[in-house]
Chains A and B, each alone.
Chain A
Amino acid sequence: KQEVTQIPAALSVPEGENLVLNCSFTDSAIYNLQWFRQDPGKGLTSLLLIQSSQREQTSGRLNASLDKSSGRSTLYIAASQPGDSATYLCASTNTGNQFYFGTGTSLTVIP
Chain B
Amino acid sequence: GAVVSQHPSRVICKSGTSVKIECRSLDFQATTMFWYRQFPKQSLMLMATSNEGSKATYEQGVEKDKFLINHASLTLSTLTVTSAHPEDSSFYICSARDSRQGVVTPLHFGNGTRLTVT
- Seen from chain A, the residues whose Cβ lies within 8 Å of a Cβ on chain B are 31-32, 34, 36, 41-46, 49, 51, 89, 91, 93, 96-104
Contacts and interface: CB of A to CB of B under 8 A. Distances in A.
A45 B111 CA distance: 9
Interface residues of B, number: 24
Given A97-B49, A99-B34, A46 B43 contact: no
Interface stretch (B13-21, B68-76, B81-89, B102-110): B102-110
Given A89-B44, A97-B32, A98-B46, A46 B104 contact: no
Contacts of B44: 44, 89, 101
A95 B8 CA distance: 30
Given A99-B34, A102-B43, A43 B6 contact: yes
Contact of B49 (A34, A51, A98): A98
Contacts of B108: 46
B103 A32 contact: yes
B114 A41 contact: yes
B109 A36 contact: yes
8 contacts: A43-B93, A43-B110, A43-B111, A46-B108, A49-B105, A93-B103, A101-B43, A104-B43
Contacts of A100: 46
A67 B60 CA distance: 30
Nearest to B59: A98
B109 A99 contact: no
A35 to B, nearest CB: 10
A100 B59 CA distance: 12
A11 to B, nearest CB: 15
Contacts of A99: 34, 46, 95, 107
Contacts of B49: 97-98
B46 A43 contact: no
